[in-house]
């Protein structure tokens, strides 16, 4: 018999009301927070409030704080400290945004879609090829706030690379935004190269003799390429705007780097477009191959049915039990009928073989 809860355990609870959720500190969502002055990272551990106070007290440098999937309550403190717009904050929390670039007063808000290639044993048995995530970047005069969604969209390597290049970091927050965009687009190039290998394998299987490739699998690849297309194509306009001086937060010396990223993105876009067209061709080829195989099977079935109909017809005639059938009492009647059946069947078989129906 289960034990009843003690009265002590019920004290202080309001009947019918759920207990309040345990608050999670902001530090649980902070991946890293650094203060950068003259291209160098200042030593020590910083909270976002202490970091921005240090930078503004010095009158130089900037803060870079990275968050991973924060909720509305936790990001609110960061938004108040850096003066982030509430609409941009809402987009950063809920994610599932298309790539875009927006300007709110003195703050720039950019959304980038990240992608990761999912390794599979074979492309014709894969259930998923591309996994997507998001990176939101808030850019101000003296701060960068990055909000990541997805486990594969880490920026630790980007941060390490920047910290090893003081000249680039000395440029300021715009260099961080460029490095993130360059990192994301480089991943696009890597993913498209892996997908190209998969499509080449599927293409080989489709046109190989006696191979069977399901059209459903090619449709799956087409769907994954469409997901990649949704990440790549909308990013072209934001990158072009940054390269053309959309905001004074991006200095002239950084704009040329964004042009280079835009060139790489154009290459990715062309690849993705080619993938989509090639997969459409492969779908048509697969359906045509299936139709051809069905026609071939139908010809074989028809040929064997025609051959079998000869003995069926003869046996049906002699199975009608007529009283006056002279050949029934003829000594060579049975061997002759069998011979006629075999000759007729063999003749039909040779005709069908010559016409490649069998």
CATH of the domain at 330: 1.20.58
Do 281 and 313 have their domain in common? no
| Same domain, yes or no: 303 and 266 | no
What pLDDT is stored for residue 122 in this prediction? 62
Question: CA angle, 125 as apex, 291 and 192 as ends, to 5°?
Answer: 100
SS3 content of the chain, % helix, strand, coil (to 5): 60, 15, 25
Q: Let me know whether 241 and 312 are in one domain.
A: no
Q: Kindly state whether residues 147 and 280 are assigned to the same domain.
A: yes
Half-sphere CA count of 30, side-chain side, radius 13 A: 19
Q: Could you tell me if residue 17 is inside a domain? A: no
Are 80 and 172 part of one and the same domain? yes
If you average pLDDT over residues 15-28, what whole number do you get? 45
Last residue of a domain, one of 269, 290, 311: 290
In this structure, are 229 and 338 located in the same domain? no
Q: How confident is the model at residue 320 (pLDDT cuts 50, 70, 90)?
A: confident
Q: What is the largest CA-CA distance in the chain?
A: 124
24-33, 51-60, 101-110, 290-299, range with the lowest pLDDT: 24-33
What pLDDT digit, counting tens, does each position of 200-258 carry?
888 888 887 767 667 777 888 888 888 889 999 999 999 999 999 888 899 998 999 99
Backbone angles phi, psi at 50, to 5 degrees: -65, -40
Q: What is the mean pLDDT of residues 306-312?
A: 88
Residue 114 shares a structural domain with residue 163: yes
Alpha helical stretches, state H, 106-232: 156-163, 166-170, 173-207, 215-232
Q: Is the pLDDT of residue 196 over 60?
A: yes
Range(s) of the domain holding residue 308: 296-354
pTM for the model: 0.75
Is 6 within the bounds of a domain?
no
Q: Are residues 67 and 188 in the same domain?
A: yes
Q: Establish if 198 belongs to a structural domain.
A: yes
Query: What is the Cα Rg of the chain in Å?
Result: 36
Residue 57's CATH number: 3.30.460.20
**In total, how many domains does the chain have?**
2
- CB-based burial of residue 234 (10 Å sphere; 0-12 exposed, 13-18 middle, 19+ buried)? middle
- On whether both 197 and 346 belong to a single domain, the answer is no
**Choice between 68 and 121, residue whose per-residue pLDDT is larger:** 68
Do 234 and 349 belong to one domain? no
* Per-residue confidence band for 198, with pLDDT thresholds at 50, 70 and 90: confident
* 88 and 58 within one domain: yes
pLDDT given for residue 127 in this prediction: 66
User: Is 275 within the bounds of a domain?
Assistant: yes
3-state secondary structure of 131: strand
Which among 280, 138, 267 has a CA at the least distance from the CA of 199?
Answer: 280
Could you tell me if residue 18 is inside a domain?
Answer: no
53, 154: one domain: yes
Strand partners, 109: 102, 138
At which of 244, 265, 290 does a domain end? Answer: 290
């Amino acid at each position: 018999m289960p034990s009843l809860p003690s009265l002590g355990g019920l004290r202080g609870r309001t009947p019918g009301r759920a207990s309040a959720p345990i608050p999670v500190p902001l530090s649980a969502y902070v991946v890293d927070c650094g203060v950068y002055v003259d291209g160098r990272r200042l030593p020590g551990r910083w909270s976002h409030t202490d970091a921005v106070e240090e930078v503004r007290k010095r009158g130089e440098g900037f803060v870079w704080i990275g968050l991973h999937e924060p909720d509305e309550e936790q990001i609110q403190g960061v938004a108040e400290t850096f003066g982030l717009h509430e609409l941009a904050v809402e987009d950063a929390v809920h994610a599932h945004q298309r790539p875009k670039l927006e300007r709110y007063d003195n703050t720039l808000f950019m959304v980038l879609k990240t992608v990761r290639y999912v390794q599979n044993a074979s492309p014709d048995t894969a259930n998923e090829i591309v996994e997507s995530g998001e990176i939101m970047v808030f850019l101000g005069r003296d701060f960068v706030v990055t909000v990541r969604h997805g486990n594969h969209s880490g920026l630790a390597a980007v941060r390490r690379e920047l910290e090893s290049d003081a000249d680039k970091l000395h440029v300021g927050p715009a260099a961080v935004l460029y490095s993130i965009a360059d990192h994301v687009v480089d991943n696009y190039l890597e993913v498209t190269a892996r997908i190209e290998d998969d499509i080449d394998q599927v293409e080989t299987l489709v046109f190989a003799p006696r191979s069977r490739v399901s059209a459903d699998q090619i449709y799956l690849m087409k769907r994954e390429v469409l997901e990649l297309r949704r990440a790549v194509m909308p990013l072209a306009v934001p990158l072009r705007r940054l390269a053309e001086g959309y905001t004074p937060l991006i200095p002239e010396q950084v704009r040329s780097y964004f042009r280079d990223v835009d060139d790489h993105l154009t290459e990715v876009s062309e690849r993705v477009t080619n993938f989509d067209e090639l997969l459409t061709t492969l779908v048509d080829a697969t359906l045509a191959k299936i139709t051809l195989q069905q026609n071939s099977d139908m010809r074989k079935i028809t040929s064997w049915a025609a051959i079998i109909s000869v003995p069926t017809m003869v046996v049906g005639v002699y199975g009608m039990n007529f009283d006056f059938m002279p050949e029934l009492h003829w000594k060579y009647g049975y061997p002759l009928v069998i011979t006629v059946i075999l000759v007729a069947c063999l003749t039909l078989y040779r005709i069908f073989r010559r016409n490649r129906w069998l």
